[in-house]
A and B are shown apart, each in its own frame.
Chain A
Amino acid sequence: MIWFLTIVLPLLAAILNAFLPTGRRGSGLIFVIATLPALWLGLAEVSGVTAQWFLLEGHFSLDTPRRILLLLTGILWAAAGLFSGSYLKDDARRGEFSFYFGATMAGNFGLLISAEVASFYTFFALMTFASYGLVIYSRTPSARRAARIYLVMAIFGELFLITALYLAVQSAGSMLLADIPPALAQAPNGPFIFLLGLIGFGVKVGAVPLYFWLPLAHPAAPAPASAVLSGAMIKAGLVGWMHLAPVGLVEWPSLSLLMVSLGFTATLGAAIIGMVQVDPKTNLAYSSISQMGVMTVLLGIGLYGGIPAVMLLPAIALYAFNHGTAKALLFLGTALPAKVGGSWRLLMWAGLGIGVLAIAGAPLTGGLWTKYLVKTFLGETTLPGGQTFLLLLTLSAVTTTLLLSRFLHLLHRIKAPSKNVAPPFFLPWILLLLAGGWWTMSPALLPPELMNYITKGKGIMAFFWNRLTNWDALWPITLGVVLMVLSLRFATFNWWPTKKPLLPPGDLLHIILRAGDPVAKLLRKGISLLDSAMKSLLSPEKIFYRLSDDKRTSKISASAETLLRRWEFVGIGFFIFFLTLFILLR
């Protein structure tokens, strides 16, 4: 029952809010209610169900990593929903926004709880296409453009995805997602299938080199929408990967290396590109890309074997949890500085600071855990070049700090209201701050064995006060902060762009478009040529018409007929016929 409510309530909420007139409150509350089942499922263990009637026989259940992610998603949607309720209260298109918002929510929950291919794909698609409405929401030309690119990329992804699913299901012989990783591990074309999936979901994850739609689309949406886009939905791709990846069952060095290297490229590269943006939301989008890079790395390690899935996947989920909540906090935060004034600003800055630190993995935050997890697994893995990766990880901490401090700097440039005010949507933000994943307790979500594994059985507190880990976590951040401060202090180093970004958002896109433009033109021309050729192609009936409707034809046949009617010719005909028949009869 609750499983269906998880999906149905958001849909109901969507329809309900769609009809809610602009300016009326309460939509936020409705959304919160809609997320309750999901939150419940996220916290409590509920045994899965089978829906004989649904699609191609639906199954719904959860395992630890997906429960963690569901919890994250629930929290984010609740916060964002509440936020939007007041943030967009007087907006003319609120109803429409709520519709797409709710639909997307349903999709997002559904894909997390569904345990078999068809329904997973269903909700994945629902989420993808419904969020189009969120991206295009503002109807500005840039938003339309972003939405178009988003859609194209989404369909591109879907195609790879469905192919991967066809092949996977065929080799697994079952629609259950749980059966797929083992099957892929066995199947000769397993790596190929996984590669297809890697691309298909990679679009959603924003993995290199498919990420370029993301810095356009995420900022285009209004703050609550981008919060869930960047905090929750981006993880859907990750879930997809987890479903396909036979972690711990196989050794696919090449794929694993590929993922790890791509992951690090994303982590560092996106951070660097993000720094030189001028729009805080774009900056955050890049940060999301870089963070997803880290998770890509983790999964990549898993494909090298040696690490059991039960260890790795929850770790990834926890990382996602931490990043998601923090990122949502920051995204929602982008709406604040222009509205929050006076003493409230202290609270605001504090919250934003926590968010930043959590992502950067500072001590006293959940980020510490997650970073430590990554470090542990990187240390464990027998993947060639493990040490370099450790180094890169440390470096990434620095870049992340730089990136996010740059974000704070960008926010700081926004002009604050003079008087001492807090908008109504400040409250949900605070709630999210409280519910966030940076509390050191968040590892409690992890399965005990993983806990013990990390804390060497000494329990959370011991780990938490371990000086070494804290130091390891601390110094890169400090370094980053110092660098940022210096660069801002001294004009000579202050090469941060202010008006327009050094690199346009969606960097790679521009190259692609530049390169693809002539190709596309050529293609379009070719197709239209073919089309016109087909149109002008003389089809049989046209030939016939031309023949039969022609004056000349009728004239000719008429004269031939008159000829046949002349007595002389009849006589000749008679004679010939006579002779022929005579010969034939002889």
Chain B
Amino acid sequence: METTSLLPLLILGSSLIPGVLILLLREDQSALRSFLNLFGAVAKVSLIAWVFAGYLRGEEYTFIFRLAPQLTFALQVDQLGLFFATLSSVLWLVTTLYAIGYLEGGQHRRRFFAFFSLCITASTGIALSGNVVTFFIFYEFLTLATYPLVVHLGTDKAVNAGRTYLWYTIGGGTVLFLGVVGLYVLAGPVYFGQTEIIASLISENAPQLTILFFVFLAGLGVKAAIFPLHSWLPISMVAPAPVSALLHAVAVVKAGAFGIIRLVYDVYGIGVAEQMNLLTPLAVLAAFTILYGSIRALFQDDFKKRLAYSTVSQVSYIALGVAIPGVLASAGAIVHLVHQGIMKITMFFAAGSVAETYGHYKISELNGIGRRMPLTMGAFTTAVFGMIGLPPIAGFVSKWYLGLGAVEAGSYWVVLVLLGSSALNAAYFLPIVYRAWFCEPDHERVSRIRSGRLETRALLLIPVVVTGLFSLAAGVFAALAGSPLSIAREIAEKFYLL
């Protein structure tokens, strides 16, 4: 704990500084801006890789700054955090590329990219934060950083969406604030991983702990879009595609999910959580959200809206996995952080490219799009099958672990939920695939907005393909050492050894 290192700070800086610099640039210096962006992204990825390597060698990276007695800003590197940080940084790199292509000639790009960088800073901060208050700081920071992205277009629709977005996130933040202070008052400064603190308190003030747990859950559940708190997610779909992609795949929803993982495993500890049976309500909520989101998705004709509802349902897999005791289930949950991320980001990229290239925003307009954008839709289709949980795509792996975990824990109803959600996923995703590949294009809509030698602009195409391949590879090579799965397994096993 005493070995202080500036590396974590540097990791944050690698996106914070470009963000600030970009804010200082002029609107028209797009080349320099792109350079800064990419430089930051690459720097971040490589830094995290470096730190990861160091961590595996057993080194400790901790940065601590005391604000006040009992109020410390702590960055700390552990496996789960690195896992999440890697995810966000890599996807940030990809998304930056995509965004540069997507916003070519758009308005307010300076603002957009600046806050884009801040946003990723926040989510890296969430990943690396070492104690509850630091987590909270970045959690709120994330809310603020994403707001300008949500309202980027500035239309009344966007602005109102932003209003609702804030209404929920700030509300959640306030509740979380209550929880955090409560925890500090009750247990003093709690660093992640110090589950013994809570364990020691459980005897005398169990009721407070229970209340706190659910206060936290309410706060985190907003971003994780758990059932009653999910409405902001589909509404904030008005944002540009890269934003929705990042919001859904990495930054916001994952912040919530990640928070829940931290809460259960690193603050309360799985033992305590089980002992006080706090997990059952969470499991039920998550299960309900899974089905609910899927059912709502069935009825959306807006492409991105449907994806959004599917996110609502997919992210709850993580919460569900956390709520099922057992190594397998939690491994499934943790690995789903990544798997859902790469699959969903692929889908959003695809949706964005279609919208950018042919101006199709509705699913009913997608007839025969597969013929015109084979690679994009191919990647999309891969992601779809992954979401349904078909091998050998990433989604299968997480679903397999969740299912086995559920069976192992003897909670068969969860298996039923998983099956139901798979069926529903098929029901609302396969029609898209069907239209894309097996329907004849209706010819009045083949007008092409952006032309290019490829099926669309290279910067729109490459990211989709890359993430698509990721989601394939994450499944096919799941057994390899260093694959998301293997890391997730290690993490989960650590949690259960504690």
Contacts and interface: CB of A to CB of B under 8 A. Distances in A.
Is chain B in direct contact with chain A in the complex (CB below 8 A)?
yes
A52 interface: yes
Interface residues of A, number: 37
Interface in B312-333: none
B-side binding surface: helix, strand, loop or mixed?
helix
Nearest to B402: A166
Given A129-B385, A531-B296, A170 B407 contact: yes
Contact of B403 (A56, A57, A122, A162): A162
A534 interface: yes
A59 to B, nearest CB: 11
Interface string B471-495: 0000111111000000000000000
Given A56-B397, A541-B167, A541-B168, A159 B407 contact: no
Given A139-B438, A166-B403, A531-B299, A55 B423 contact: no
A118 B396 CA distance: 10
A531 B305 CA distance: 14
B231 interface: yes
B414 to A, nearest CB: 11
B302 interface: no
B479 A155 contact: no
A54 B485 CA distance: 12
A-side binding surface: helix, strand, loop or mixed?
helix
A136 B438 CA distance: 8
Contacts of A158: 390, 422
A166 B406 CA distance: 9
Contact of B430 (A122, A151, A528): A151
A530 B295 contact: yes
A522 B475 CA distance: 39
Contacts of B478: 55-56
A531 B309 CA distance: 12
Contacts of A531: 295-296, 298-299
A8 interface: no
Interface in B411-442: 415, 419, 422-423, 426, 430, 437-438, 440
Given A55-B475, A163-B419, A170 B408 contact: yes
Interface string B378-407: 000000010001111000110010011011
B30 interface: no
B400 A56 contact: yes
Contact of A155 (B392, B400, B423, B480): B423
A39 B288 CA distance: 49
B480 A52 contact: yes
B79 interface: no
A562 interface: no
A344 B298 CA distance: 55
B46 interface: no
Given A139-B438, A541-B164, A55 B391 contact: yes
Contacts of B163: 541, 545
A313 interface: no
Interface in A497-528: 527-528
Interface in A88-133: 118-119, 121-122, 125, 129, 133
B425 to A, nearest CB: 10
A119 B479 CA distance: 12
Interface string A166-181: 1101100000000000
A125 B389 CA distance: 10
A53 B486 CA distance: 11
Nearest to B391: A122
A147 B390 CA distance: 19
Given A163-B419, A170-B408, A125 B391 contact: yes
A544 B407 contact: no
B407 A166 contact: yes
Nearest to A56: B479
Interface in A526-541: 527-528, 530-531, 534, 539, 541
Contact of B479 (A57, A166, A169): A57
B332 to A, nearest CB: 12
Nearest to B437: A133
A539 B475 CA distance: 39
A161 B216 CA distance: 38
Interface in A138-193: 139, 144, 147, 151, 155, 158-159, 162-163, 166-167, 169-170
Nearest to B228: A539
A307 to B, nearest CB: 31
Contacts of B396: 122
Nearest to A52: B479
Given A55-B475, A56-B400, A534 B296 contact: yes
Given A56-B397, A56-B400, A534-B296, A159 B392 contact: no
A142 to B, nearest CB: 14
Nearest to A541: B167
A539 B476 CA distance: 42
Interface in B202-220: none
Contacts of A56: 397, 400, 478-479
Given A53-B480, A55-B479, A56-B397, A528 B299 contact: yes
A139 B438 CA distance: 8
Contacts of B164: 541
Interface string B441-468: 0000000000000000000000000000
Nearest to A169: B404
A129 B434 CA distance: 12
Nearest to B298: A527
Given A136-B438, A531-B295, A531-B296, A55 B392 contact: yes
Given A56-B397, A166-B407, A159 B390 contact: no
Contacts of A167: 407
B167 A55 contact: no
Nearest to A58: B479
A129 B404 contact: no
Contacts of A125: 390-391
Contact of B404 (A170, A541, A544): A170
Interface string A416-447: 00000000000000000000000000000000
Nearest to B167: A541
Interface in A174-217: none
A167 to B, nearest CB: 6
A23 to B, nearest CB: 19
B404 A122 contact: no
Given A55-B392, A57-B479, A155 B426 contact: yes
A347 B308 CA distance: 61
Nearest to B420: A159
A405 B231 CA distance: 64
11 contacts: A52-B480, A56-B400, A119-B392, A122-B392, A125-B390, A162-B419, A163-B419, A166-B406, A170-B404, A530-B295, A531-B295
4 closest Cβ contacts across the A-B interface? A122-B391, A541-B167, A57-B479, A170-B407
Given A118-B391, A166-B415, 18 more contacts: A53-B479, A55-B397, A56-B397, A56-B478, A58-B479, A119-B391, A122-B396, A125-B391, A133-B437, A144-B438, A151-B430, A155-B423, A163-B419, A167-B407, A527-B295, A531-B298, A534-B296, A545-B163
Interface of A: 52-58, 118-119, 121-122, 125, 129, 133, 136, 139, 144, 147, 151, 155, 158-159, 162-163, 166-167, 169-170, 527-528, 530-531, 534, 539, 541, 544-545
